[in-house]
Structure 1
């Protein structure tokens, strides 16, 4: 039976005191999407508010990014369904791409947290990359513990943020994960780094996006 992946994406197109344009980072959408598609998986895209979900259009010359934009990926991003209508039934995994958008509308979002907790507690795979793990930082399970507590995780590092968007974010993702008990690790800025801990898969930065998808596939095919 075909595996089915839910992409859970931001609806936030602006961030910070200077209204920096943002959204889901194109590379972190396209590389996992095309990797899952190549595996033969079905993919749905839901956003926080539904409708057209913003994309941070980086690395437009990248052939995988172009494949996403010229295929049904862009069409799906222009016509996302709202999480208000989401049922997790039938999905095998959820993936949250980064970009700065999730910092705005996923960090303290109870419906998002409920979806991610439900995925995890239903035995499904939960994954995120770069700033996407902000969606996981405050998620609590039924026993009251944080989902990330005691888990080996990664995400965009404080060192990377320092030279990227420190003026636009009000907190460090790395600190959020550590404060809630995660065993956080990172490698040199902008180098690939993805981690599997049980059914939880996280990646550090854009270069890690495909690795996250490959690790999710490894779990689902095991």
Structure 2
């Protein structure tokens, strides 16, 4: 017996648009995926992974290192083994199949980061359908690092919103976001200054928009730390967001606490 099922919404993106009509490699971050998932299982929850096309997410090579596990080689190995071999991470479903089978049986939903969600999840209609269900049911909804960008999928036309951001038209993006589910929620996400580190050292190119810019244009009340890469979690109603990779453990703790509290 488990306390309940938790849906983990993964990305299938493996590359991301960057300025200059080029693409950079991307994926999900290993620690941001496995640390919360492992914490959920340790707390007695069943993890169900689903992605847009039903295939397992790709791990961003930049995250596949002990450095993202506080330089703890044993923790990194445990996380890598969990992603490679656990039943939860190796039986992915399509988002559509999960929706069709019914979302009422899930206690909460979690979206990991890495830049991949910026490509597919933030403009995916099925992600929007899932998020609106958990919002309306007031079920814990957790997103980490770049993961909170997926919240924009819950607006009426997320594709138009994203296109406006890429075109550099924040005013038009805000128009598309006028009926956004999470308007006026407090939230956090990977900061603009943290993104510059990724642009300079990993992508070697600039992205079309940064994450706080996008969520602010959507109508969110975005809060980020003055010091880059310090752990930071924001909780507002059912929404739990973590700012960066080092927020993995604090977000997992807050998410499990919210799930347990809802169980009573």
Matches within 5 A, 1:37-52: 37-52=41-56
* C-alpha contact 1:126 1:201 (8 A) present in aligned 2: yes
Q: Does structure 2 conserve the Cα–Cα contact (< 8 Å) formed by 1:53 and 1:78?
A: no
Assess if the C-alpha contact under 8 Å between 1:96 and 1:129 holds in 2.
yes
Q: Is residue 2:92 matched to residue 1:85?
A: no
Give the gaps of 5 or more residues in structure 2. 157-177
Pick the aligned partner of 2:210 from 163, 168, 172: 172
**Counterparts of residues 193-208 of structure 1 (less than 5 Å):** 193-208=232-247
Structure 1 distance, partners of 2:33, 2:153, is 23
Does the CA-based 8 Å contact 1:10-1:23 persist in structure 2? yes
Is the contact made by 1:34 and 1:64 (CA closer than 8 Å) also made in structure 2? no
Matches within 5 A, 1:50-61: 50-57=54-61, 58-61=63-66
Deviations 1:176-203 (A, max 9, x none): 1111221111011111000110110001
Paired residues, what number?
A: 220
Q: Which has the larger radius of gyration?
A: 2
* 1:157 aligns to 2:227 (yes or no): no
- Range that drifts further, 71-80 or 157-166: 71-80
Q: Which moved more, 1:85-94 or 1:53-62?
A: 53-62
| Residue 145 of structure 1, CA deviation | 3.0
Asked if structure 2 preserves the Cα contact closer than 8 Å seen for 1:8 and 1:97, the reply is yes
Range that drifts further, 116-125 or 163-172 = 163-172
Shift in CA distance, 19/113, structure 1 to aligned 2, threshold 3 Å: same
- Compute the TM-score of the two structures, normalised by the length of structure 1: 0.90
| Alignment RMSD (CA, Å) | 2.0
Partner of residue 105, structure 1: 120
Taking a change above 3 Å as real, the CA distance of residues 73 and 117 of structure 1, as seen in their structure-2 partners, is farther
> Structure 1 residues 127-136 or 11-20, which shifts more?
11-20
Deviation at 1:59, TM superposition (A): 4.6
Choose the corresponding residue for 2:151, options 136, 153, 157: 136
Distance 1:44 1:36 in 2: 11
TM-score relative to the length of structure 2: 0.77
